[in-house]
Amino acid sequence: MNEIKLTNSEKTLMDILWEKEKAFMKDILETYPEPKPAATTVATLLKRMQNKDLVGFTLYGNSREYFPKVAKGEYFKEEMTSMIDRFFNSSVTQFASFFTSNSKLTQKQLKELRDIIDKEIKD
């Protein structure tokens, strides 16, 4: 998959679509947090995201029901991979070292991480 880049505005809209799975414009606008953007702003975002192949729609008469074309998990995976590539020279080990030493994790959380890693090693 190509690298997915979302602006903050696009991410907010995608969060709504990921939550709803399918939504008409009125549903999207109702879900937006305050201050709600203008319908034209959301329409522009939707068009831009369709051009990026992130959002699709089904036409019902004159109404469009929008849906995400990329899963939230896939987006998050791509974002994490991109961040590790850019900031940690593609080294997951460097990322893990930075994360564990700078996140103020409790002993319990560190043990949970170790258990996750141990499970992956065994599988």
In the prediction, which pLDDT does 26 show?
95
pLDDT in tens, 71-84: 999 988 888 888 89
pLDDT in tens, 82-96: 889 999 998 988 888
Distance from the first to the final alpha carbon of the chain? 26
CATH architecture of 8-68: Orthogonal Bundle (1.10)
In the prediction, which pLDDT does 101 show?
84
- pTM to 2 decimal places: 0.74
Query: Where are the domains positioned within the chain?
Result: 8-68, 91-123
**In angstroms, rounded to a whole number, what is the distance separating the alpha carbons of residues 49 and 52?**
5
pLDDT in tens, 8-67: 999 999 999 999 999 999 999 999 989 999 999 999 999 999 999 999 999 999 999 999
Strand order in the sheet with 23-24: 23-24, 63-68, 55-60
Q: Residue 21, by phi and psi: left (phi above 0), alpha (psi -120 to 50) or beta?
A: left
